[in-house]
Structure 1
Amino acid sequence: MPTSEGSAPAREPAGSLALKKGLELYAQKDYEAAAKLFKKAINSCSCQIHGEMLLDSNEDILTGIENNQLKEVLSTLTPRSRRCDKQVHIHALDSLIATYEILFKLDKCLNLAVGMVNLAPREPKVYLRLGKILRLKSKQNLAYHMYRQGIELVERKNPNHSLLPKLRAQRDKVAPLVGFDPVTKFPIELVRMTFEFLDFKTLCRCLRVSKDWNNILTKSTVLRDLWHVQTYKLTHRSHPGIRRMLPTFKAYNKYGKNALRELSIDGLSHFLQWCKFSQVIEISQQLKVLKLREPRGSFELESLPPKLRLPQLTNLSLGYGVRPQPQFLEQLISACGSSLEELSVFELPYCARLASGQAPWYPGWVKLEKLKVVRLAYPNYESRADLGPNLRGIMELAPNVEEVWIDNLTYSPKMLMTKWPKLQYIFVGNHARLFTVVGEDNMEGSFNENMRELHFEGRSVQSRFSTCYPPMVTSNPQAPWLLTIHVGSSVLPQLRRLERLSILLHTPLTTSEFETVVRPGIESGTLRELDIRPFPVNILFGSLFKVVIPDWLRSESITYLSITGLTVANLCQYRECDEGLLTLVDRFPNLRSIDISNEQFSDALLAKFIQRGVKTIYHRAKQSKADLQEWASTHYNAQIISRPPPHLPSMHPDRQRFFNDHLQFSNTELP
C-alpha cells in the first residue's frame, strides 16, 4: 500500500486533468458537467481544503473589507484556517465561480469568492473575481474597498505581479461609482436631525434608496417618531395605488409602533376609496391632530365606530370639500370633547334645527372646556330663506375660546365679547351677517381691550361695526339669503394692543374711520401687520396732489403693509403718486414686506422700495417682472413674488369655494 508521501504527487496530475477537461466543457457551454469537474479538481488538491470549508469565515471577511480592516481579520483567521497558493486549486475555484455566474447563482458565487480571499490573500486573481461578483450584486462601495485593500496585500509579496495593473484599473473604474453614505456612517442622532427636515412624501421615497436606508428608517427606535406625523396629498394623478392604501397606511403606522400623532389627508375620496374612515380611526387611537380636505369637491362623511374615543385629539380640521353629516360631526366631537383645543369646520352641515338657530349643535352636546380656537364656515350654496346658523350654540358649549374665524354665519359683536371674554383674535368673512337684537347696548366698549388680531371683510366698515335692528328676510329671488338691515349709529373700536389688523372692503375707509381704527395700534407700538384694502388714498394727497400724510402715520414696529386702490382712483399716472408712496414707506423704517396686489406700479418704484429695506414684494400684475426679480435677488437678497401673501386669514386655502362663487370685489382683490 503506497504511503501518503508517495500518493500526493499522483493527485496533482489528476487535478490538472480534471481542470483541463472542465475548461473544455465550459467552452462548449456544458456548465453543469464543467462544474462537477472543477469541484473534482479542487478536491484533488493536496491541501485537502474543500469548497465547503471556505465558507466558515465569510461574514468576518466581508465585515473586515467594509471596515477597512481586511489584513487584521485575515491575520486572526490564520490559526483556525489553512491557506493554499497552488495555481491548479485557485484556477479551478475561479472557474467554478465563473460557471455559477453564468448560471445566475450569484449568492453561491459570492460565498466562494469571499472564501478565495482566505484561501490565497496574496493572489490578485482572487480580488478580480470577488470584485466582479460584488459589482454584479450592486455593491459598488464594498467592491472599491476590496480592490484597494487587495492591491495593498498583493504589493507586499509581489509588487511586480502581472495582474496588478488590471487590479488597479478595476479599482479606478469603480471609484466614480462609490459614494459616501452618511446615513450608514453618521451617529443615529445626527441622521434623525437630517430626516426631520423632509416632508412625509420624501420620507416614504427614502425607503427605496437602499436596504440600509430602509432598515434604518423602519427599525431604528431613535427614528420611530418620524412616522408619528403623516401627510397625504392625493390626486387622480398621484396616489400610491388605491388598492394598496390601507396596507400602506398600516405599514407606516407599524414603523412608528402604532403611535400616530398627526394625520393630514388632502384628497380624502382617493384615500378612502379602498378603506373606510372607521378603519383609519381605529388604527389611530393616539391621534392629536386630524386634518381632512377634498380638493375635487364635496365628500360626505357618514359613519364612525359606535363607541369611538379619541382622548388625545387636540386639533380637528374638516376643510374644503369635506361635508360631515350632523350625526357624524356630533359623534366625532364627542369622542374628543375632553381634549379638543382647536376646531375647524369649513362646511357646516344643514339640518332641521337650522331654523331655530341651534344648528348644528344643541345643549345636549358635550362641553368643550379646553376649546380655544374655532373656525366655522357655512357653504353659501346651502343658504336658505332664513337667518342661517349662528354662534349661540357653540358659545354655550365652549366658554373659553380665544380665537374665532367665521364666514356666512350670523353673529353679534356684543355677544362675541360677552360670551367669550377671553377672545383676542377675530376674523369675520365677507358673508358673515351682523345681527344685534333691539334694545342691546351699543358696541362701545364691547371689544376686549387686549385684542391682538382683528380681520374683517365687508362692503363697508359700518356693515361690521354698526348697531343694527333685527334683520328681515328679503324677497329678492336672485339673493334669497340676503338680509335687509337698518343701520344705526356706527361706533368703531379703538384697540391699543393690536398686533395684526386687516380690513378688506368694497368702499374705502374715510380719513376719520382710518384714524380711529389704525391710530391706537400705531401709537402704542404693538401693530406689526397693517392690511387695509383699498388703502385710503385720500390721506396721501391733498386737493392739489401734494403729499399730506398725517404726522401720526409712522411706526418702527410695522413690518408688513398692503398698498392698493391707487390704480382704481387713477392716481398711478401722476408723478406725485411715486413721491407720496416713497414718503409713506419712509415712515416705516422696519418695513420688510409689501403687497401691491395688481397695482400698476413701475419697476423703478418697486426698486426704490427694495433700496429702502423691503425684502419681499407680493404682486399679481400681468406684466413679467423677471428682470426686477433677478436684480433684487442679486443685489439686495430680496424677492418679487407673483402670488398673494400666504399668512393672511383671508387667504386661507379652505375658502376656495367661497372665492369662486361669491367674493367678487370691484376695487380690491381676494385670492
Structure 2
Amino acid sequence: METAENSASAREAPGLLALKEGQELYAQGKYGAAAKLFKKAMESCSCQSYDKMRLDLSKEILTGIENNRLKEVLSALTSQSKRCDKQVHVRALDSLIATYEMVFKLDKCLNLATGMVNLAPREPKAYLRLGKILRLQSKQTLAYHMYTQGIELVERKHPHHPLLPKLRVQRDRVAPLAGFDPVEKFPIELVRMTFEFLDFKTLCRCLGVSKAWNKILTESDVLRDLWRIQTYKLTQRSHPGIRRMFYAFKAYNKYSKNALRELSIDGLSHFLQSCRFAHVLEISRQLKVLKLREPRGSFRLDSLPPNFQLSQLTNLSLGYGVRPQAQVLERLINACWRSLEELSIFELPDYAWVDPDTMWYPGWAKLEKLKVVRLAYPSRVSRPDPVPHLRGMIELAPNVEEAWIDNLRYSPKLLLAKWPKLRNIFLGDRVSLHTITNDDDDDDDGDYNEDMRELHYEGRSPQSRFSTYSPPVVISNPYTPWLLTIHVGRVVLPQLRRLERLSILLTWPLDASEFETIVRPGMESGTLRELDIRPLPVQGLFGKAFEVELPHWFRSESLTYLSITGLTAANLCQLRRCDDALLTLLSRFPNLRSIDISNEQFSDALLAKFIKRGVKTIHHRAKQSKADLQEWAASHYNAQVISRPPTHIPSMHPDRQRFFNDHLQYSNSELP
C-alpha cells in the first residue's frame, strides 16, 4: 500500500513542478509554452485520465444546465467518464483553460470547461471557470443557472468549501443580467393563469414574441381555452390588418379546436370588409356569447348562412350602430331561441315590419329562458316613425328578470302583470306611454313588485305616477313616460323595502312626501346601496335657506353612492350655511365612497372636505378645471376627481343612441 502511494507521489512530483513552471511562463505572457507545461502536469496525474478525457460533452452539459438537470446529466455520464479531484490535475486544467482564454480560443475553452465539470463535479473551480467562459460569450442566463446548480452540487459534499462564497458572489453578480423565459420554465397551469389576465389583442401579440411562445400558445391543450374567447376592437378609420382579419380569425378559431365560445366585435364594418357575416357564423356554431358593435354609424346585417343553428348561444348583443334587417333578426332569434338568456338590440328594425296585431316583429319563437332584455328603437329627427309596442315582447318572454327599454311604447299595467319575475328595470327618457282601455285584453290588475331590486327611469315630471284608483279613470299622457302611470287618482306609492339601486332622473324634482315614500323604505331596511335622484328635493330636505333639519330617517350605513344635485338651481350654493349643511348630509352616510355633483357650483375646499371624510370618487361636469384638486386627492388620499358621470348607472350604457342627456348634463357621444 505504501509502495503504491509512494509511486503516485513520485509520479505527481514532476506534475507539480511543471504546473509551477507553467504558471511562471503564463505570468510572462508566454502562453504557448505555458500550455505545454500544463498538459504535462495533467499527464503526470495518477488518475491517468488525461488521454481519456472527453471533450465532446459541451452540448449535453449545457443542455442539462439550461433545463436545470445538470445533476441528472452528470450522473448519466458517470459510466462513460473517469472522475478525478486531484488538485494538480484540476489546477493544471484550470490554468490551461485560462491560457486559451488569453488567445481568444473560447470554443476550445468551452469544451475544456465542460470537460472539467464532468471530471470534478464537486470542485468549485470547475464552475467558476465555466461561468467565466459563458459570460465572455454573453450567455448570462446560462451562467446564472450554472452557478446556481454548481453551488447545490458543491454544498452536498463540501458545505464549508472556501471557494463557495466566491461562487455565490459570482451568481449574485450575474443575476441582474440574467433572464429566462417563464413560459418555457413554469408549469403549464401557471402559464395559463398568467395569460388569462391578458386581453385578446395582447394575447395575439404574444404569438410573435418567440417560436417557443407561439408553439406553446397554439399547440398546448391546456391553453386552448384562451382562444375560445375572442374580442376584436377595430375603431380606427383604417386598420392595417383588415385584409388579413378573416384569415387570422380562422387561425385563432383553429387554435381553439373550432370550439369558439365568445365572440365580441367592436367595429363590425371593418371586420366584415374581407368576408360576410354568414362566413363568421358558419365557423362559430358553438358560440355561447355574440356581441357586435359599430361605433362609426349604422351597419346593416343582411346575410346569414342557410339552415344554421346556434343551439348553445345564451347571450346575443347587437349594440350601437348594428341595425339588422327584420328577416335577418328573425332568423337569428329563431336559431338560438331554446338557449337564449340575454338579448340586447339597441337598433331595432324599421316599424314597417311590425305585425299590426301584436305590434311586434312577426316570426319570433317564444323565448322561455330569456332573463335579461335590452331593447331600443332608433330615433329619427327628420322623420319620426311610429315605434313598436313592448306588448309583443312581453308575451314572447314571460320570465324576464331584468329589462332596459328606450324609445318603445309600453303599457305599465301589462308590464307589471306579465313580468312577475321582474327585479331590475330601466326606462329611458324616450319611451312613450300607451293608452289603456277597459276593452283591452290586458286589463288584469298587476300589483307593483315589492321585491324589485333595481329601479331606474328618466323623464320630465313626477306627476301622475305610482297611482291607483277604483273605479279606474284612464288617460293617456304623451309626455311623461312613467313606469307606473296606470290610472289617475289617489296616489299610492310602492313600498320598495328590498331596493338596492334607485335612480330617478327628472326635469322637475319630487316633492318631499314623494321622495320619502320612495326612498325611506330602502333606507330603513338597510338594502339601498346607490341613490341617484336628480334633482334632489332640496327645498324639502333643507328648506329655502337651510332652516330645516334633514329628516331623521335620511341616514344609512349601507349607502355607498349618492348624487347631490339641485342646489345651484335653487340658489342655495351661495348661502353661507351651504357647506355646513352638505357636510351634515355626508355625516349621515359613513360608508359613502362615491358621489356625483354634476355641474353644481361647489368650491374645491368643500370637495376636499368630502374627500377627507372618506369619499374616494367625485364625479362632476363643472366647466372650471379641477386639476389641482385632482392632484391633491390622488397624492394624499388615493382619491379620484372625474369630469364625467359615473359609468355604472344604466343611463350611461355605451350602446345607447347618442344624444345630450339633460339629466346628466353630459353627451353620451363621448362614450366608446
**1:616-638: CA deviations, max 9, x gaps?**
22222233333333443444443
State whether residues 324 and 349 of structure 2, in contact with CA within 8 Å, keep that contact through their aligned partners in structure 1.
yes
**1:101-126: CA deviations, max 9, x gaps?**
9xxxxxxx9xx997676667689999
Q: Which amino acid in the other structure matches residue 245 of structure 2?
A: M
Name the counterpart of 2:598. Answer: 597
Q: Measure the CA separation in 2 of the matches of 1:464 and 1:337.
A: 35
Q: Measure the CA separation in 1 of the matches of 2:180 and 2:548.
A: 63
Name the counterpart of 1:550. Answer: 551
Q: Which amino acid in the other structure matches residue 573 of structure 1?
A: Q
- Displacement of 1:444 in angstroms is 8.7
**1:564-612: CA deviations, max 9, x gaps?**
1212222211112212212222222222211111211112212222233
- Displacement of 1:291 in angstroms is 0.8
Shift in alpha-carbon separation, 1:151–1:412, aligned structure 2, 3 A = closer
Q: Which amino acid in the other structure matches residue 580 of structure 2?
A: E
Alignment root-mean-square deviation, CA? 4.2
Q: Measure the CA separation in 1 of the matches of 2:149 and 2:613.
A: 62
Name the counterpart of 1:409. Answer: 408
State whether residues 355 and 361 of structure 2, in contact with CA within 8 Å, keep that contact through their aligned partners in structure 1.
no
State whether residues 434 and 464 of structure 1, in contact with CA within 8 Å, keep that contact through their aligned partners in structure 2.
no
Aligned residues: 578
State whether residues 264 and 292 of structure 2, in contact with CA within 8 Å, keep that contact through their aligned partners in structure 1.
yes
- Displacement of 1:433 in angstroms is 0.4
**1:315-362: CA deviations, max 9, x gaps?**
111000111111111111111100000000000010423372746522
- Displacement of 1:500 in angstroms is 0.9
Name the counterpart of 1:179. Answer: 179
- Displacement of 1:178 in angstroms is 1.4
State whether residues 427 and 456 of structure 1, in contact with CA within 8 Å, keep that contact through their aligned partners in structure 2.
yes
State whether residues 233 and 267 of structure 1, in contact with CA within 8 Å, keep that contact through their aligned partners in structure 2.
yes
Q: Which amino acid in the other structure matches residue 390 of structure 2?
A: L
- Displacement of 1:383 in angstroms is 8.3
Q: Measure the CA separation in 1 of the matches of 2:546 and 2:478.
A: 45
Shift in alpha-carbon separation, 1:347–1:118, aligned structure 2, 3 A = same
- Displacement of 1:537 in angstroms is 1.1
Q: Which amino acid in the other structure matches residue 416 of structure 1?
A: L
Residue 456 of structure 1 aligns to a residue whose secondary structure is strand
Percent identity of paired positions between Structure 1 and Structure 2: 67
User: In the TM superposition, what are the counterparts of 1:229-240 in structure 2 within 5 Å?
Assistant: 229-236=229-236, 239=239
Residue 343 of structure 2 aligns to a residue whose secondary structure is strand
State whether residues 401 and 422 of structure 1, in contact with CA within 8 Å, keep that contact through their aligned partners in structure 2.
yes
Shift in alpha-carbon separation, 1:497–1:81, aligned structure 2, 3 A = same
Residues 1:293 and 2:310 are matched in the alignment: no
Q: Normalising by structure 2, what TM-score? A: 0.75
Q: Measure the CA separation in 2 of the matches of 1:86 and 1:560.
A: 76
State whether residues 416 and 446 of structure 2, in contact with CA within 8 Å, keep that contact through their aligned partners in structure 1.
no
State whether residues 373 and 401 of structure 1, in contact with CA within 8 Å, keep that contact through their aligned partners in structure 2.
yes
**1:243-301: CA deviations, max 9, x gaps?**
22122212222332222211111111111111222222222222111111111111111
- Displacement of 1:232 in angstroms is 1.3
Q: Measure the CA separation in 2 of the matches of 1:492 and 1:114.
A: 92
- Displacement of 1:79 in angstroms is 4.9
Name the counterpart of 2:191. Answer: 191
User: In the TM superposition, what are the counterparts of 1:387-398 in structure 2 within 5 Å?
Assistant: 387-398=386-397
- Mean Cα displacement is larger for which, 261-270 or 490-499? 490-499
Name the counterpart of 2:574. Answer: 573
Shift in alpha-carbon separation, 1:462–1:629, aligned structure 2, 3 A = same
Residue 532 of structure 1 aligns to a residue whose secondary structure is strand
Q: Measure the CA separation in 2 of the matches of 1:587 and 1:151.
A: 64
Q: Which amino acid in the other structure matches residue 526 of structure 2?
A: G
**1:508-541: CA deviations, max 9, x gaps?**
1122222222222223322211101111111233
State whether residues 403 and 425 of structure 2, in contact with CA within 8 Å, keep that contact through their aligned partners in structure 1.
yes
Q: Measure the CA separation in 1 of the matches of 2:589 and 2:444.
A: 32
Residue 659 of structure 2 aligns to a residue whose secondary structure is helix
Residue 343 of structure 1 aligns to a residue whose secondary structure is strand
Name the counterpart of 1:8. Answer: none
- Displacement of 1:367 in angstroms is 1.3
Residue 297 of structure 1 aligns to a residue whose secondary structure is coil
Shift in alpha-carbon separation, 1:267–1:278, aligned structure 2, 3 A = same
**1:540-577: CA deviations, max 9, x gaps?**
33244313322222222222110112122222111122
Q: Normalising by structure 1, what TM-score? A: 0.75
Name the counterpart of 2:647. Answer: 646
Name the counterpart of 2:507. Answer: 506
Q: Which amino acid in the other structure matches residue 283 of structure 2?
A: I
Name the counterpart of 2:283. Answer: 283
Shift in alpha-carbon separation, 1:408–1:259, aligned structure 2, 3 A = same
Q: Measure the CA separation in 1 of the matches of 2:443 and 2:186.
A: 66
Partner of residue 475 from structure 2, selected from 469, 476, 483: 469
Residue 216 of structure 2 aligns to a residue whose secondary structure is helix
Q: Measure the CA separation in 2 of the matches of 1:386 and 1:651.
A: 25
Q: Measure the CA separation in 2 of the matches of 1:383 and 1:339.
A: 39
Q: Which amino acid in the other structure matches residue 516 of structure 1?
A: T
Q: Which amino acid in the other structure matches residue 454 of structure 2?
A: E
Name the counterpart of 1:375. Answer: 374
Residue 606 of structure 1 aligns to a residue whose secondary structure is helix
- Mean Cα displacement is larger for which, 493-502 or 60-69? 60-69
- Structure 1 unaligned runs (5+)? 1-45, 102-108, 154-166, 474-484
Q: Measure the CA separation in 1 of the matches of 2:169 and 2:543.
A: 83
Name the counterpart of 2:429. Answer: 430
Q: Which amino acid in the other structure matches residue 431 of structure 2?
A: A
Q: Measure the CA separation in 1 of the matches of 2:390 and 2:639.
A: 43
